[in-house]
Amino acid sequence: MPHADSFTTPDGLRLYTRVWSPPGSPDAHVVLLHGYGDHCGRYGELAKDLNLAGLTVHSYDQRGFGRSDGRRAYVADYTVLLDDLDRFLNHIHPDTQGMPLFLLGQSFGGLIAVRYAQTRQPRFSGLVLCSPFLGFSESIPKPLLVLGRYIAKVAPWLPVSQVAPDGLSRRPDVVEEATNDPLGYHGRVLARTGSQMQEAIADALGDAGRLSLPLYIVHGSEDRIVPLSGSQHFFDAYAGPDKTLEVCEGGYHELWHDLDADAVLQGICDWIRRLL
């Protein structure tokens, strides 16, 4: 059973946390960052497999999502999310000190993980990115992306785009559950949030050569929410000698909830175990 807790940010927000622990002493710890509109409660299946591999999983609902405080789905400055991760790592430090520590990010959480690793130079043993948000879907018109930056300055709360839930998985039960999840965010992306996503992606790709942590990326070839091309671009520019890009043929966005989930989860666990 996961253990729930919380920590408080410097600006007074209470952020909800969860930890999933394996029986006995873990061999390593994994910090998991959820995706946009998501919350850590949806990652039980992924955490279970990591537990079976001897890994403790720590996660939290990012500000504005799930059970955490904050303006709903609003990102005024993406670097504040990096500060929140700093705070969370300090929160779990008594449990993780002296142990191998991995950072795992899904989608938007993957983007935040990349920027954290690039700018804070933490002591992680490796970086795992699942369908990382490193590029915009081709379904979003390029003029809208350009216009969005200007809209964000004058009307930051204006809704500009929306994520279609049917792109999450090829499993109808997963799509239905996510659509009806009361803790999920189902509204449109706000203009300021969208502009911060663009800025974070540009920064991540521009600094790809600065990072040399062992890197594992897994991405579905049919991901309609976040394109595989962003992961490929980042992977090609990545400076580290130990890097892997696994393409899940036919896979959608949430690969641990998709038809090839067993193989995807096994690949993640095997890669982490290799580094221990």
pLDDT of residue 158: 66
pLDDT per residue as tens digits for the range 15-37: 999 999 999 999 999 999 999 99
- Rounded CA-CA distance 127/272 in Å is 9
CA atoms within a 13 Å half-sphere pointing along the CA-CB vector of 234: 33
pLDDT at 154: 62
Q: What is the mean pLDDT of the chain?
A: 92
Q: Domain residues for 111?
A: 3-274
Give φ, ψ of 227 to 5 degrees: -70, 145
What pLDDT does 148 receive? Answer: 59
Q: What is the pLDDT of residue 210?
A: 86
Over the Cα atoms of the chain, what is R_g? 17
Domain count for the chain? 1
What's the pTM value of the predicted model, to 2 decimals?
0.94
CATH code of the domain in which 34 resides: 3.40.50.1820
Give which of 138, 199, 169, 197 is closest to 261, Cα–Cα.
169
